Amino acid sequence: MPDSPEKIYQQLCDHVRQTAMILSIQHVLAWDERTTMPPAAGQYRAEQITYLAGIVHERQTDPRVGEWLDALADSPLATDPHSDTGATIRTLRRRYDRKVKLPQTLVEELTRTAVLGQQVWATARKNNDFAALCPLLEKTFELKRQEAEAVGYDEHPYDALLDDYEPAETTANVARLLASLRHRLVPLVEAVAQSRRRPPVDVLHRHYPIASQEAFVNKIAERIGFDFQSGRLAVSQHPFCMRMGPSDTRMTTRYDEKHFNSAFFGTLHEAGHAIYDQGRRADQFGLPPGEYISLGIHESQSRMWENLVGRSLAFWEGIFPEAQEAFPEALGDVAVDDFYFAVNDVRPSLIRVEADEATYNLHILVRFELEQALIDGELAVNDLPVAWNDKYEAYLGIRPDDDTHGVLQDIHWSAGLVGYFPTYTLGNMYASQFYAAARDELGDLAPAFRSGKFAPLRAWLREKIHVRGKTFTAAELVRDVTGRDLSEEALMHHLHDKLAPLYGLE
Interaction of residue 235 with a copy of itself, rule CB under 8 A: no
Q: Kindly tell me which of 229 and 451 has the beta carbon lying closer to a copy of itself.
A: 229
Amino acid (one-letter) located at 25: I
Instruction: Please state, in angstroms and rounded to a whole number, the distance separating the CA atoms of residues 424 and 177.
Output: 13
* Cα dihedral 179→180→184→189 (10° resolution): -40
AA letter at 79: T
User: What is the CA 305 to chain-centroid distance, rounded?
Assistant: 13
Q: Which residues, 81 to 100, sit near a copy of itself by CB under 8 A?
A: none
Contacts of 129 (CB under 8 A, 6+ apart): 123, 403
CA-to-CA distance for 202 and 40, rounded, in angstroms? 40
41 binds a copy of itself (CB under 8 A): yes
Nearer to a copy of itself, 253 or 423 (CB): 253
Q: Cβ of residue 143: shortest distance to a copy of itself, in angstroms?
A: 24
Burial of 468 (0-12, 13-18, 19+ CB in 10 A): buried
Restricting to residues 267-306, which ones interact with a copy of itself according to CB under 8 A? 285
CA gap 35, 413 in Å, rounded = 20
Phi-psi sector, 314: left (phi>0), alpha (psi -120 to 50), beta: alpha
Residue among 26 and 423 whose Cβ is closer to a copy of itself:
26
Asked if residue 475 binds a copy of itself (CB under 8 A), the reply is no
Whether residue 268 contacts residue 275, with contact meaning beta carbons closer than 8 Å, is answered with no
CA gap 231, 388 in Å, rounded = 37
Q: Examine residue 25 and tell whether it contacts a copy of itself (CB under 8 A).
A: yes
Applying CB under 8 A, does 247 fall inside the site for a copy of itself?
yes
Stretch that binds a copy of itself, among 189-197, 238-246, 362-370, 448-456 (CB under 8 A): 238-246
Residue 48 found at the interface with a copy of itself (CB under 8 A): yes
Q: What is the DSSP string of 397-424?
A: S---SSGGGTTTS-STGGGT--S-THHH
Told to check if 123 binds a copy of itself by CB under 8 A, we report no
Site for a copy of itself in 203-232 (CB under 8 A): 211, 227-232
For a copy of itself, the closer of residues 21 and 448 by Cβ is 21
Q: Which is nearer to a copy of itself, 73 or 215 (CB)?
A: 215
In the bound complex, what is the minimum distance in angstroms from residue 355's beta carbon to a copy of itself? 31
Number of residues that bind a copy of itself (CB under 8 A): 38
Binder among 47, 58, 463, 480 for a copy of itself (CB under 8 A): 47
Q: Please, what is the end-to-end C-alpha distance for the chain in angstroms?
A: 74
CB atoms within 10 A of CB 205: 14
- Which of 32-40, 334-342, 454-462, 476-484 is the region at the interface with a copy of itself (rule: CB under 8 A)? 32-40
Nearest to 169 by CA among 382, 505, 485, 506: 485
Catalytic status, residue 270:
yes
CB closer to a copy of itself, 25 vs 505: 25
3-state secondary structure 424-487: HHHHHHHHHHHHHHHHHHHCCCHHHHHCCCCHHHHHHHHHHCHHHCCCCCHHHHHHHHHCCCCC
Pick the stretch among 46-54, 128-136, 460-468, 481-489 that binds a copy of itself (CB under 8 A).
46-54
**Angstrom distance (rounded) from CA 201 to CA 343:** 7
24 binds a copy of itself (CB under 8 A): yes
Nearer residue to a copy of itself within complex by CB, 282 or 380: 282
Work out how close the CB of 100 gets to a copy of itself at its nearest, in angstroms, rounded to a whole number. Answer: 24
Choice among 270, 291, 306, 357 that is catalytic: 270
Least distance in angstroms from the C-beta of 297 to a copy of itself? 24
29 binds a copy of itself (CB under 8 A): yes
- Our finding on whether 15 is near a copy of itself (CB under 8 A) is no
User: In which element (H, E) is residue 249 found?
Assistant: strand 249-253
Half-sphere exposure in the Cβ direction for 18 (13 Å, CA): 12
Q: How far is the CB of 91 from a copy of itself (least distance, A)?
A: 22
Instruction: Report the residue from 3, 4, 6, 36 that binds a copy of itself according to the rule CB under 8 A.
Output: 36
Residues that bind a copy of itself (CB under 8 A): 18, 21-22, 24-25, 28-29, 31-32, 35-41, 43-45, 47-48, 51-52, 211, 227-232, 234, 244-248, 250, 285
Residues carrying an active site annotation: 270
